[in-house]
């Protein structure tokens, strides 16, 4: 049985960049619904006691399990997104991650440009990611519920660019949401711990 994880901070902790109202809907309604849907789909099946990652792997690429994949992957993506945010986040990373970004992108500014472009140009619903791919850091984007887990990449951090992630606070200004994330919320400690 899958459960809805608690947010790693208070629902008010990301104000004014992400409002309590957005988190109430995004976590309390959208994320919760994915958990409910996935549990209904795995009930009384061999996947009933499987880990979330195993459910995603079992459903990936199977047209008959597309609904299960979408809901399970959205549970995973959202949980990862909550941890990619911090009330004391933002700015440039230091440590090994900062050095890796400089080495693999040329500079933090070049990473930021690639990340903003991926997040802004993801048409419709989806995600932008910082991943490790073949030993190098890269920026990628995925549509809908797709996740780097099924592409052989190691996710380090993500931003959710589905409209429900930002519309109550930013309306149609997705770039403003992306910049607020990078300037004030991105959790570089979490990203470095995933290296």
Strand pairing class (154-160; 136-143): unpaired
- Supply the pLDDT for residue 72: 98
End-of-domain residue from the set 83, 112, 129: 83
Q: Kindly tell me the number of DSSP H helices and DSSP E strands found in the chain.
A: 9, 3
Residue 121 domain-assigned (yes or no): yes
Residue 49: pLDDT band by 50, 70, 90 thresholds? very high
- Number of domains comprising the chain: 2
Average pLDDT over residues 86-112: 97
- Supply the pLDDT for residue 179: 98
End-of-domain residue from the set 83, 110, 126: 83
Q: Please give the Cα distance from 48 to 60 (Å, whole number).
A: 17
Average pLDDT over residues 176-189: 98
Average pLDDT over residues 152-168: 97
Average pLDDT over residues 149-162: 97
Residue 14 domain-assigned (yes or no): no
- Supply the pLDDT for residue 10: 98
Over residues 1-30, the pLDDT tens digits come to 999 999 999 999 999 999 999 999 999 999
Same domain flag for 75 and 114: no
Residue 46: pLDDT band by 50, 70, 90 thresholds? very high
Q: By residue range, what is the domain housing residue 162?
A: 95-193
131 contacts 155 by C-beta, under 8 angstroms: yes
Cβ–Cβ contacts within 10 Å for residue 135, how many? 7
CATH number for the domain spanning 76: value is 1.10.287.990
């Amino acid at each position: 049985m899958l459960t809805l994880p608690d947010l790693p901070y208070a629902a008010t902790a990301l104000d004014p960049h992400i409002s309590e109202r957005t988190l109430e809907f995004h976590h309390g309604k959208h994320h919760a619904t994915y958990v409910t849907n996935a549990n209904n789909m795995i009930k009384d099946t061999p996947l009933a006691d499987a880990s979330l990652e195993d459910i995603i792997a079992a459903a990936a690429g199977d047209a008959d399990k597309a609904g299960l994949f979408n809901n399970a992957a959205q549970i995973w993506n959202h949980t990862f997104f909550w941890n990619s945010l911090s009330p004391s986040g933002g700015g440039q990373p230091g440590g090994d991650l900062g050095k890796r970004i400089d080495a693999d992108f040329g500079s933090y500014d070049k990473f930021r440009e690639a990340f903003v472009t991926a997040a802004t140009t993801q048409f419709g619903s989806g995600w932008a990611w910082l991943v490790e791919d073949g030993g190098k850091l890269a920026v990628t984007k995925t549509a809908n519920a797709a996740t780097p887990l099924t592409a052989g990449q190691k996710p380090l951090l993500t931003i959710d660019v589905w409209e429900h992630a930002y519309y109550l606070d930013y309306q149609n200004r997705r770039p403003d949401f992306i910049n607020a994330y990078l300037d004030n919320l991105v959790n570089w400690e979490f990203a470095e711990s995933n290296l």
